[in-house]
């Protein structure tokens, strides 16, 4: 059997299993989705949002990209964010990075990988802003872990800079923003930062006419 054929076979078995344990399973899910969470995570295959949080289809709206970045010109991310916040009205937006992230490691080095370097430049900027704090650490691994945490925190801040989040905070006192980092080696998620709805950020980024 070819590798991809196994996926289709497993899918059939899964669908049958779901229908057997709950005959209405697909009918209910097909009718609507009302997830409470938006997950912005890394594309890394080892960090699947649903499995590591014990959630089911329908519970998390998901956007993933390399190194879980929130970039203000990314129309893909912004569309997901707007839909999740304004239509689905999610209560929590979670940016989840992970230790051992290839994107973080690549951003710390000087090798040119092609177009991806332009994407990773966002991480280099975080490193530059926090260079003394990161360079103080002894090992490469400690520095990568610190940069991972600081990058996640910066992406949460980037969310708060968007008019989408600021408008939702003003109108609905929602959503909460969370920065998490997942450990590949132990499966545990470490919360690293949090922003309550209405948190004031640098006024440079605050719109006064939303």
Which residues have a catalytic role annotated? 42, 44, 46, 98, 101
CB of 78 to Co ion, least distance (A): 21
**Angle (nearest 5°) at CA 190 between 159 and 73:** 20
42 binds Co ion (CB under 5 A): yes
Question: Exposed/middle/buried for 132, CB within 10 Å: 0-12, 13-18, 19+?
Answer: exposed
Check residue 101 for interaction with Co ion (CB under 5 A): yes
- Cα–Cα distance list, 8 to 15, 18, 48, 199 (Å): 11, 15, 19, 46
Q: List all residues 6 or more positions away from 144 whose beta carbon is below 8 Å from its beta carbon.
A: 99, 100, 101, 104, 105, 108
Q: Is 147 in the site for Co ion (CB under 5 A)?
A: no
| Part in contact with Co ion (CB under 5 A); list of ranges 19-27, 100-108, 116-124, 187-195 | 100-108
Residue 44 sits in the site that holds Co ion (CB under 5 A): yes
Give whichever of 65 and 166 is closer to Co ion, judged by the CB atom: 65
| By the rule CB under 5 A, 145 interacts with Co ion | no
**Residue numbers of the site for Co ion (CB under 5 A)?**
42, 44, 101, 103
């Amino acid at each position: 059997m070819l590798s991809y054929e196994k996926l289709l076979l497993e899918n059939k078995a899964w669908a049958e299993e779901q229908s057997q344990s709950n005959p209405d399973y697909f009918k209910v899910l097909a009718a609507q989705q009302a997830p409470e969470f938006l997950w912005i995570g890394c594309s890394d295959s080892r960090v699947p949002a649903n499995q590591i949080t014990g959630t089911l289809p329908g519970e998390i709206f998901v956007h993933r990209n390399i190194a879980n970045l929130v970039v203000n010109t990314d129309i893909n991310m912004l569309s997901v964010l707007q839909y999740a916040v304004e239509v689905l009205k999610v209560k929590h937006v979670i940016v989840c990075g992970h230790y051992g992230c290839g994107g973080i490691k690549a951003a710390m080095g000087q090798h040119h990988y092609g177009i991806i370097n332009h994407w990773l430049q966002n991480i280099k900027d975080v490193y530059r802003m926090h260079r003394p704090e990161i360079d103080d650490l002894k090992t490469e691994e400690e520095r990568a872990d610190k940069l991972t945490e600081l990058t996640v925190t910066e992406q949460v801040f980037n969310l708060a800079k968007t008019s989408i989040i600021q408008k939702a905070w003003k109108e609905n006192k929602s959503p909460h923003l969370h920065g998490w980092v997942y450990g590949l080696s132990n499966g545990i998620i470490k919360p690293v930062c949090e922003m309550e709805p209405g948190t004031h950020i640098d006024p440079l980024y605050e719109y006064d006419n939303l």
